[in-house]
Structure 1
Amino acid sequence: MISLLVEEVFVTEGVPAFTFVRPPNYNRIFVDVRSAGKPVILEGQSGTGKTTCIRQILVDLGDRAATEYLTAREAVDVSRIEAIARERPAGRFVIDDFHRLSAGLQTSLADLAKLSAESSDPFKATKLIIVGINQIGSALIQLVPDIAKRMGIHRIQPGGEPEITQLIRTGASKLNVEIPQLDVIFRETRGDYWLTQQLCQSICLSAGVLETIKEKKSIEFEIDKVRKEVVEQLQSAHYPAVKEFCRGRRFRPSNQPYYKLLRAIGQNGSSNVDLNELANSEPEVRGSINNIKEHRLPTLIESKPLVARSFYYNKETKSFSIDDPALFYFIQHLDWDQLRKDCGFRIVAENFDYEIALSFAGENRELANHIATQLEDLDVPVFYDEMFEANFLGKAWTKVFRDIFAEKSRFVVCLLDVHHLEKIWPTFEREHFAPRVADGSIIPIYLDDTKFVGIPSDIIGFKFKFDPTDENWRSVADEQITMKLVDKLTE
């Protein structure tokens, strides 16, 4: 019997030489990859083995044709991909993580795929093999509708119990061991090939099996202990990115929407989620998701390279994904209470959707809009009606406003003047937030000397003269209002 190292058998990085399991549609993918010039799309959830499948096909081809492997996760590779789209060189190119490319570059590659598919000499065409998350094929077809019949579009599903069983038994045989409770491993991995490899390697290491052993033995294990070992092993690689994501772009002890979102995704069980669907199905995090999905979440990812390498978000489709199956497994089994402490979040009983809700009359919308925009840029969850109109379509504003101003905002910032006193909607809002004056959660901005029942004039707030004709009013508002509000939130 040939002696093999455990990491050669159960492989967590690269292509498994002994435990690769071909998906049911492997031969069809192989033929399309082999066909000169024919564009190929391979899609599926993280952990289904898309990248491993393509790499194995390139090995099985055994030809001398050079293949350039590029990923959208690497900046230098993106530059090369841009050059390929522009120069259209002959050759075979794998473009992994296609969904991470800009919409413009995706369109250019779709056009290139069409030209290659129609080329009179396919051997001189640019052969594109595109790898990405779910529905990447249908999305590409929408960019260039008439190329659907000319390209091979394949979807790789997670492994079923027969495939996972085959993987485990093949690897165990190479190491001369038996790994029982195959159904337990399958339930833990849900068909994720990478995770199966990782768990089997950890099971062997815990039993002291570092390579093929001479006398065959059965390895007993407890899945809870194996899970804990794997999560601890992944800690150093993934905890920094998780923590940086949860703390947001500008940390404040009360600013927890990113933490709540990531926890909900971990509990949801899918590494690729539609945030609109998640918000609708999870009322406890609906406000947090709606508050960050349009502007704050994409800004966070764009501003922090460590976060961008670990998480992907498409603002247009509201699709959030975690491409690395190791990271997703780590998130699924995090100690969230410990993470909350490590992030420095304040533990409070209240569960606010917004840190600030703005109440104002239409005559002061320009000032309210500026304050809201500045607060959002400073990563503050703020309710400003125009920012959330799409979230509340089909709902009655009366109920939405009553909930937000009465209980779902930590503070209400009200722009008080004669218009706020006389207008119907500001009066409605005021009726619901005025009882909160007693707990100190109402912050007035006095625009004139108008008196309000239920809001004592000696409540400390801001006195501001709003003159839209003054070209400096915005910078004055930032200095006198916005920055002081942010300071208040950090208390």
Structure 2
Amino acid sequence: MKYPVEEIFRTEGIPEFTFVNPPNYNEILVDIRTPGKPVIIEGQSGTGKTTVAKKIIENAFPGGTFGYLSARIAEHMETILNISNGNASGHWIIDDFHRLDSCVQSRIADLVKVAAETFEPSIHPKLVLIGINKVGSGLIMLVHDIAKRCGIHRIQPANKDITLQIMNRGEDKLQIELEGKDAIFEETKGDYWLTQLTCQAICLSRDILETQDSKKKLVYVRDDIRYRLVTRLDNTYREPVKEFARGKRFRPTNDPYFRLLRLIAAQESSVSDLNELANSNPDFRGSINNIKERRIAIVLESKPVCSRYFYYNTDTKTFAIEDPAFFYYLRHLDWEDMRKDCGFRDDPDRYEWDFAISFAGENRELAKLIADMLEVLDCTVFFDEYYETNYLGTAWSRQFREIYGVKARYVICLLDSHHAEKIWPTFERDVFVPRVEEAAVIPIYLDGTLFPGIPRDIVGIDFKGYDGKNEQLVTDKIVYKLEEKLRRV
């Protein structure tokens, strides 16, 4: 019997002929088979979570008593909400659990605890929750002492023997012999999906489209296959990479999103804690810290093509690339070519912030409004409230010398009598006044107070008499002008 190659080495859905049990298959099977016991399967995309769960249910529950639900599928949300509200019984897989609203997650976690305590399958639904980023640990934080009452598993990667089994089964069905299996294992590192994709690509590179009449030897050439895969994926993934890398409002020097993607592509995992990533990569710390609080979420909300491929949790600062094909593409992308394609130019004067705002406490409300509006326009702004946690344990005086002196491209100063009288604004002014000569200081005049070192004829923004009520005036007279100034850099 002849089989098409895509049915043997499957990259979509559950492999029929080349599925091999992961090392911890039996442990997961027993927990799913145990009546009433909730099960959590966590781990990043491509590890086979959904495939293993479906295989177990196919074998252990042949009557089709398990329903499959995904937080990605809009039509499934009504049932998921019914389950979370305690209005549904039965057996359910809830996939992509991490994408549910935190309130829904919490209600389901409460159900899991009650079900685990009572083990009354006739009363409570049997739930198998599948997600990424330590879903089990997240549930433990939501509901104390849940861990000992349910099964929490990660699909263990394929070892060399399992990877060889996948390839051997494919060889038998297609009448081929793959040479270089050790090298294939080194490339795929136990990733089930990548093993399937790589084997399929080897076949296609040698015109093997179906089972052969006689056995044929196929040599694996890593660089050739890697290039073929990246080229094959380019039409699908180049656009979302460019859209995310360019941020909400493109500027040739605004590349923190590009720098973040390039750094993540160099990691082993497609799931990253941005706090940990920033702390372990000093050269990227400023770029990451400037976008992780709000700006990444703004980009994903404003660009649907990005939200389909990137996941970000603003509470946990977890950034994830859930599509394993996409992550493979990123890992082997020509990043210098992508930089040019995005339109970024090398900036010899790389600044950590586009703007730093200097103000007296009496004008904090106006300063925050300006900072918030600039961030919506995808500008990096140093506003002290945004970064207090980053600088805990350090001296503001030292930080301000660096921020207002060298780390901000422009200093916005809200000048009035309060700025002249207060200690901290005066300290900041002493730091940034020398930068007046380089046109890096943009005054916003709130009254007629004169300041040494800031010439009366320096071009600034006249904003005298603002009553704190007309936000549109702030947008038109200050924010848009500042953003336009940045665009002309």
The question of a shared fold, defined as TM-score above 0.5 by the shorter chain, is answered with yes
The superposition leaves residues 160-183 of structure 1 with CA deviations (integer Å, 9 ceiling, x where unpaired) of: 223223222332232222222223
Deviation at 1:324? 1.1
- The one-letter code of the counterpart of 1:239 is R
Matched position secondary structure for 2:170: helix
**Residue in structure 2 matched with residue 227 of structure 1 by the alignment:** 226
Deviation at 1:471? 5.0
**d(CA) in 2 for partners of 1:407, 1:336:** 28
**Residue in structure 2 matched with residue 128 of structure 1 by the alignment:** 127
**Residue in structure 2 matched with residue 489 of structure 1 by the alignment:** 486
**d(CA) in 2 for partners of 1:462, 1:123:** 70
**d(CA) in 2 for partners of 1:394, 1:163:** 50
**Residue in structure 2 matched with residue 266 of structure 1 by the alignment:** 265
* Conservation of the 8 A alpha-carbon contact between 2:366 and 2:468: no
What are the equivalent positions in structure 2 for 1:50-449 lying under 5 Å apart? 50-119=49-118, 121-123=120-122, 125-449=124-448
Greater displacement, 424-433 / 387-396: 424-433
**Residue in structure 1 matched with residue 469 of structure 2 by the alignment:** 472
* Conservation of the 8 A alpha-carbon contact between 1:45 and 1:157: no
**Residue in structure 1 matched with residue 40 of structure 2 by the alignment:** 41
**d(CA) in 2 for partners of 1:463, 1:4:** 75
**d(CA) in 2 for partners of 1:471, 1:284:** 39
Deviation at 1:107? 0.8
Deviation at 1:48? 1.3
The superposition leaves residues 375-394 of structure 1 with CA deviations (integer Å, 9 ceiling, x where unpaired) of: 12222211101111011112
**d(CA) in 1 for partners of 2:149, 2:176:** 47
* Conservation of the 8 A alpha-carbon contact between 1:367 and 1:466: no
Deviation at 1:87? 4.6
Deviation at 1:226? 0.8
Give structure 2 stretches of 5+ with no counterpart: none
With the length of structure 1 as denominator, give the TM-score of the two structures.
Answer: 0.94
The superposition leaves residues 344-374 of structure 1 with CA deviations (integer Å, 9 ceiling, x where unpaired) of: 3344222222111111222322221111111
**d(CA) in 2 for partners of 1:80, 1:408:** 51
Deviation at 1:124? 5.1
Greater displacement, 123-132 / 422-431: 422-431
**d(CA) in 2 for partners of 1:435, 1:79:** 61
- The one-letter code of the counterpart of 2:300 is I
**d(CA) in 1 for partners of 2:77, 2:324:** 22
Deviation at 1:440? 2.1
**d(CA) in 1 for partners of 2:416, 2:18:** 72
The superposition leaves residues 206-242 of structure 1 with CA deviations (integer Å, 9 ceiling, x where unpaired) of: 0111122232232113211111111111122222222
Q: Report the RMSD for the aligned CA atoms in angstroms.
A: 2.0
Greater displacement, 120-129 / 275-284: 120-129
Matched position secondary structure for 1:268: coil
**d(CA) in 2 for partners of 1:341, 1:120:** 59
Matched position secondary structure for 1:411: strand
Give structure 1 stretches of 5+ with no counterpart: none
Matched position secondary structure for 1:20: coil
Deviation at 1:121? 4.3
**d(CA) in 2 for partners of 1:301, 1:388:** 22
- Identity in percent: 52
Greater displacement, 384-393 / 407-416: 407-416
Deviation at 1:247? 2.1
* Gap change, CA 1:350 and 1:162, over 3 Å in 2: farther
- The one-letter code of the counterpart of 1:179 is L
* Gap change, CA 1:206 and 1:475, over 3 Å in 2: same
* Conservation of the 8 A alpha-carbon contact between 2:184 and 2:220: no
Greater displacement, 95-104 / 391-400: 391-400
**d(CA) in 1 for partners of 2:304, 2:35:** 37
The superposition leaves residues 102-135 of structure 1 with CA deviations (integer Å, 9 ceiling, x where unpaired) of: 1100011112223333456414531111011132
* Gap change, CA 1:163 and 1:428, over 3 Å in 2: farther
1:452 correspondence with 2:463 = no
The superposition leaves residues 439-461 of structure 1 with CA deviations (integer Å, 9 ceiling, x where unpaired) of: 32221112233333333222211
**d(CA) in 2 for partners of 1:106, 1:229:** 40
1:30 correspondence with 2:29 = yes
* Conservation of the 8 A alpha-carbon contact between 1:466 and 1:473: no
Equivalenced residue count is: 488
**d(CA) in 2 for partners of 1:88, 1:32:** 24
- The one-letter code of the counterpart of 1:480 is K
